[in-house]
């Protein structure tokens, strides 16, 4: 009873403009009294994160606090093909647990067979992303990003445009979902598109990977996690290249999540950066393929051609093919690309020397690694594979 009185008192203070919350819920179109009450009737720190050593607490939107009920519902929805217009695909169709939630394809294929222009990013540790997707600078939260695969038409992915009511009717028709939606969203009509999105976002925020052999060595002091003495020596030599000025890899792929674009509860500020890594230089003009121009697509600035977000490289061994367009097939060839300082395409539609791209990041330059050093670097990257995560039943298909 005291908690309820306290919650109502807080609600009154907000209405009086005390500024307790970092946003004004009354300015949001979808806000209503029920949703606002939930911010207080559900304690904001009640969700218990199961975080690996060295991992900070993720930032969660105040409008979608974490609850186990939403996580459980989101897991079912993530794997349910009812979430595509023609019921042929689910979120998991392009984000498979065994592949660190990528799909193994060069470019994603939507529910209608339309090919996506970019490679499907893994969704591990998305709770820490400053921005979602490869290149869109406006998609901050998962709740916003999810609108793209669900309702986007260029290309069509899940193809739910004009099928919203049909989707909700499908979900209402199942006894399982009647109970799960009510538990996850106890106030008002639980069957809304907004609630579908919120539940999936909560589940995706639990997809946190940080127990690779290198993590166990680094945080647990478990030397044997890196294999025998020869394997361990190779991995640590590779780590030295990665984290040194010789390799320069850590500038874009540093920190606990192996990407510079991370945010968490202790962040003072969050960097939003995109980079050109010399993958293309069509005709020597700095151009990239027209269907994949990079940040230029949003800014119109010539200097932004070919710039993409550097993703986390955790579990990179499992996420081939690589780059934003899946144009590099193996981890060995990724290392070769950076060792050369970019890619020189001699013939064809995309001919041009990416090494000379005028927009290329200054940290991408010929390194001159020996064959042995390249092997060491690959071995280090493979040591970031978290087999516990990709086999964890908490994240698996519940059907």
What residues make up the domain containing 342?
Answer: 213-388
86-105 residue pLDDT tens? 999 999 999 999 999 999 99
Strand residues in the chain grouped as ranges (E): 344-345, 352-353
In a domain, 171, yes or no: no
Mean pLDDT of 215-230: 98
In a domain, 286, yes or no: yes
In a domain, 367, yes or no: yes
In a domain, 306, yes or no: yes
Handedness of CA 258, 263, 268, 274 (dihedral sign): positive
CATH number for the domain spanning 223: value is 1.10.760.10
Top pLDDT among 266 and 349 is at 349
Say whether the peptide bond before residue 321 is cis (omega within 30 degrees of 0): yes
In the annotated binding site, the residues are 91, 94-95, 249, 252-253
Residue with tokens 């990003």: 145
Q: Which two tokens stand for residue 317?
A: 């061994």
d(CA 136, CA 74): 24
DSSP 8-state assignment for residue 61: -
Between the alpha carbon of residue 4 and those of residues 37, 38, 47, 65, 201, the distances in Å are 10, 11, 19, 18, 28
d(CA 332, CA 354): 18
d(CA 59, CA 65): 10
In a domain, 293, yes or no: yes
Where helices occur in 79-192 by DSSP H, the ranges are: 142-145, 147-151, 164-172, 175-184
Q: How long a stretch of residues is the chain?
A: 399
Tell me: pLDDT of 268 over 80: no
Tell me: pLDDT of 361 over 80: yes
- At 314 the pLDDT is 99
In a domain, 173, yes or no: no
In a domain, 399, yes or no: no
159-188 residue pLDDT tens? 999 999 999 999 999 999 999 999 999 999
In a domain, 176, yes or no: no
- At 45 the pLDDT is 58
271-306 residue pLDDT tens? 789 999 999 999 999 999 999 999 999 999 999 999
In the annotated binding site for heme c, the residues are 91, 94-95, 249, 252-253
Q: How many domains does the chain divide into?
A: 2
Q: Are 290 and 233 in contact (CB under 8 A)?
A: no
User: What residues form DSSP beta bridges with 262?
Assistant: 129
- At 30 the pLDDT is 40
């Amino acid at each position: 009873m005291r908690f309820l009185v306290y919650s109502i008192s807080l609600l009154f203070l907000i209405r009086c403009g005390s500024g307790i919350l970092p946003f004004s819920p009354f300015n949001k179109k979808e806000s209503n009294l029920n949703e606002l009450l939930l911010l207080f009737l559900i304690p904001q720190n009640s969700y218990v994160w199961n975080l690996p050593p060295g991992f900070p607490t993720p930032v969660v939107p105040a409008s979608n606090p974490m609850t186990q009920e939403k996580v459980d519902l989101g897991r079912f929805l993530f794997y349910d093909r009812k979430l595509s217009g023609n019921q042929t695909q689910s979120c998991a169709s392009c984000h498979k647990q065994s592949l660190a939630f990528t799909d193994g394809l060069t470019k994603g294929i939507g529910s209608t067979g339309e090919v996506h222009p970019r490679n499907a990013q893994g969704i591990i540790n998305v709770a820490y992303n400053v921005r979602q997707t490869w290149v869109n600078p406006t998609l901050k939260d998962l709740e916003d990003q999810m609108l793209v695969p669900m309702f986007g038409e260029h290309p069509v992915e899940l193809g739910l445009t004009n099928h919203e009511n049909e989707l909700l009717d499908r979900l209402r028709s199942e006894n399982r979902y009647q109970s799960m939606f009510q538990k996850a969203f106890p106030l008002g009509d639980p069957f809304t598109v907004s609630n579908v999105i919120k539940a999936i976002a909560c589940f995706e925020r639990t997809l946190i990977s940080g127990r690779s052999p290198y993590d166990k060595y680094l945080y647990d002091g478990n030397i044997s996690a890196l294999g025998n003495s020869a394997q361990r020596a190779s991995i640590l030599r590779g780590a030295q290249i990665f984290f040194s000025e010789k390799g320069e890899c850590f500038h874009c792929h540093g920190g606990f999540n192996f990407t510079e674009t991370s945010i968490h509860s202790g962040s003072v500020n969050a960097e939003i950066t995109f980079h050109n890594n010399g993958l293309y230089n069509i005709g020597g003009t700095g151009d990239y393929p027209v269907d994949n121009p990079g940040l230029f697509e949003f800014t119109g600035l010539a200097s932004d051609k070919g710039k993409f977000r550097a993703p986390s490289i955790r579990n990179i061994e499992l996420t081939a093919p690589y780059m934003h367009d899946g144009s590099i097939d193996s981890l060995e060839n990724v290392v070769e690309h950076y060792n050369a300082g970019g890619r020189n395409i001699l013939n064809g539609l995309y001919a041009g020397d990416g090494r000379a791209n005028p927009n290329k990041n200054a940290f991408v330059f010929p390194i001159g690694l020996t064959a042995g050093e390249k092997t060491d670097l690959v071995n280090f990257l493979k040591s970031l594979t978290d087999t516990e995560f990709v086999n964890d039943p908490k994240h698996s298909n519940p059907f």
